[in-house]
């Protein structure tokens, strides 16, 4: 999971009141939906096995209850965290908001916990999806990180990490030799990358169990890192001139070492944090690369390149059933929702035609976007609107 420079946007807007304003909001709400639907269904192409996206509901962050598009929205357990514009909170499977708040400071959201905090917090309250305080941290001397249902404090200089218990006390603290640039956690492990090009893994007690310096570049820096859900594999984007994607795998059980099983050069590369995720129940790892994304298939041990136009503005981290959705940005306002169907594992070319893989391209205008997925349900957002689709076979 990419931790983008450990900073977040600040809110500078307020809710608009009055009956006239509400009428205008509803009108804009309908117009946005109609335009989105025209783009969406006009741009979509048939995909194998009659798989389609069926719209379910559309919700305004400013208007109230969702509008049901197709039948009755099924209420399922669990919620999705969201940040969109100056709003943040959680949305359920029927389009209702257990939490929908205006930003007043920095925020960090995970699937079950969230926190809002000042630039230099003197106290941090960890909240759950019911809005209840689960832990309070006095004088944190850093910033919160919520990963793998755990609470961490990243030191104010970004070169130390502490895990916090339910009473707000530090269970352990680990000091790094340089500021961290990315962090992920899974299976009781913590994976970190730092500006000096070092990758480390800490166990449940904060002890270092793995240390790795990829090297091989003019400038050593770790720009992205991700752990598989079982902790057996890790992917990293490292270096500038040249930049590489590396996949490491653990051998010899719990006490084994991680070894490089695949590496790939990424052309000119980036000088900023890079998206990288394990998806499709750890069957694949995807990563941002110049003019597209890369995808490595764990089973076939093959990597492919998927060309894309624009930069990646949002990407869902599920990728279940061989489908992946992302949003690309051509400019500040011009965005495009893209659906990708991964090809069969056998006889894959290194570069795959966009026509062969991209079954959906839906353009829309928004200066901010949101995208998430749980199972067959995809939720996309722009402006102050969220819309839900179900991935179905018909």
- String of DSSP letters for 199-237: EEEE-TTS-EEEEE----SSEEEEEEEEE-TTSSEEEEE
Residue 171: inside a domain, yes or no?
Answer: no
Region 353-370: mean pLDDT is: 83
89 has pLDDT over 60: yes
Residue 295: inside a domain, yes or no?
Answer: no
Quick check: helix, strand or coil at residue 357?
Answer: helix
Residue 237: inside a domain, yes or no?
Answer: no
Query: Residue 177's Cα: distance from chain center in Å?
Result: 27
Q: Which two tokens stand for residue 6?
A: 């450990």
Peptide bond preceding 242: is omega within 30 degrees of 0, i.e. cis? Answer: yes
Predicted pLDDT of residue 64 = 74
Residue 336: inside a domain, yes or no?
Answer: yes
Give the Cβ contact number of residue 104 at 10 Å.
11
pLDDT > 90 fraction of the chain, expressed in percent and rounded: 62
pLDDT > 70 fraction of the chain, expressed in percent and rounded: 81
Q: Which two tokens stand for residue 272?
A: 């900023």
Residue whose C-alpha is closest to residue 178's, from 239, 220, 142: 220
Region 336-365: mean pLDDT is: 75
287 has pLDDT over 60: yes
Domain count within the chain: 1
171 has pLDDT over 60: yes
C-alpha Rg value of the chain to the nearest Å: 21
Residue 362: inside a domain, yes or no?
Answer: yes
Predicted pLDDT of residue 320 = 87
Region 358-382: mean pLDDT is: 91
The whole-angstrom separation of Cα 251 and Cα 228 is: 14
Predicted pLDDT of residue 198 = 97
From the number of C-beta atoms within 10 Å of its C-beta (0-12, 13-18, 19+), residue 348 rates as: middle
Region 361-390: mean pLDDT is: 92
Q: Which residue has the higher pLDDT, 48 or 99?
A: 99
Region 44-64: mean pLDDT is: 75
Residue 59: inside a domain, yes or no?
Answer: yes
- String of DSSP letters for 2-48: ---TT--PPP------SHHHHHHHHHHHHHHHHHHHHHHHHH----G
| Host domain of residue 74 | 14-102+313-347+357-394
Region 334-356: mean pLDDT is: 72
40-44, 65-69, 242-246: lowest mean pLDDT where? 40-44
Predicted pLDDT of residue 37 = 54
Predicted pLDDT of residue 321 = 84
Convert the pLDDT of each residue in 296-336 to its tens digit.
999 989 888 888 888 999 999 899 888 999 999 988 889 99
Confidence tier at 45 by pLDDT (50, 70, 90): low
Q: Which two tokens stand for residue 15?
A: 């809710």
Confidence tier at 38 by pLDDT (50, 70, 90): very low
Over the chain, what is the mean pLDDT? 85
Convert the pLDDT of each residue in 188-227 to its tens digit.
999 999 999 999 999 999 999 999 999 889 999 999 999 9
Residue 62: inside a domain, yes or no?
Answer: yes
Predicted pLDDT of residue 269 = 85
Convert the pLDDT of each residue in 242-270 to its tens digit.
999 999 999 976 667 999 999 999 988 89
181 has pLDDT over 80: yes
Predicted pLDDT of residue 17 = 35
139 has pLDDT over 90: yes
The torsion of the CA quartet 18, 24, 29, 35, rounded to 10 degrees, works out to: -170
Predicted pLDDT of residue 200 = 98
The whole-angstrom separation of Cα 145 and Cα 294 is: 27
Convert the pLDDT of each residue in 268-282 to its tens digit.
889 999 999 999 999
Q: Which residue has the higher pLDDT, 13 or 317?
A: 317
Residue 181: inside a domain, yes or no?
Answer: no
Q: Which two tokens stand for residue 5?
A: 């420079």
């Amino acid at each position: 999971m990419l931790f983008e420079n450990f900073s977040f946007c600040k809110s500078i807007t307020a809710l608009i009141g009055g009956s006239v304003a509400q009428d205008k909001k509803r009108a804009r709400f309908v117009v946005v939906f109609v335009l989105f639907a025209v783009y969406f269904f006009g741009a979509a192409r048939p995909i194998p096995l009659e798989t389609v996206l069926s719209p379910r509901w559309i919700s305004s962050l400013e208007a109230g209850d969702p509008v049901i598009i197709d039948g009755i929205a099924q209420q399922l357990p669990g919620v999705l965290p969201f940040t969109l514009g100056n709003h943040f909170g959680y949305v359920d499977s029927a389009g209702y908001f257990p939490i929908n708040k205006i930003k007043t400071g920095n925020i960090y959201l995970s699937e079950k916990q969230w926190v809002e905090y000042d630039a230099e917090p003197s106290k941090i309250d960890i909240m759950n999806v019911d809005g209840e305080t689960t832990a309070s941290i006095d004088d944190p001397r850093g910033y919160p990180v919520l990963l793998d249902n755990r609470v961490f404090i990243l030191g104010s200089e970004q070169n130390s990490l502490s895990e916090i218990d339910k009473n707000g006390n530090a269970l352990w603290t680990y000091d790094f030799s340089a500021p961290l640039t990315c962090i992920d956690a899974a299976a009781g492990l913590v994976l970190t990358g730092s500006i000096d090009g070092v990758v480390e893994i800490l166990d449940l007690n904060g002890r270092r169990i793995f240390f790795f310096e990829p090297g091989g570049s003019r400038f050593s820096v770790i720009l992205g890192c991700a752990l598989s859900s079982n902790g057996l594999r890790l992917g990293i984007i490292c270096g500038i001139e040249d930049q590489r994607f590396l996949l490491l795998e653990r051998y010899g059980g719990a006490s084994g070492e991680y070894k490089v099983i695949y590496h790939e050069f990424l052309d000119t590369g980036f000088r900023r944090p890079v998206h990288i995720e394990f998806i499709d129940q750890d069957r694949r790892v995807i990563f941002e690369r110049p003019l597209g994304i890369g995808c490595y298939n764990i089973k076939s041990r093959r990597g492919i390149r998927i060309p894309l136009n624009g930069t990646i503005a949002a990407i869902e981290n599920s990728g279940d059933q061989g489908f992946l959705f992302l949003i690309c940005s051509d400019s500040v306002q011009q965005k495009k929702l893209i659906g990708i169907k991964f090809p069969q594992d056998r006889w894959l070319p290194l570069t795959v035609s966009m026509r062969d893989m991209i079954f959906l391209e839906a353009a829309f205008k928004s200066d901010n976007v949101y995208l998430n997925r749980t199972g067959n349900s995809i939720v996309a957002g722009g402006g102050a609107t969220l819309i839900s689709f179900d991935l179905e076979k018909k």
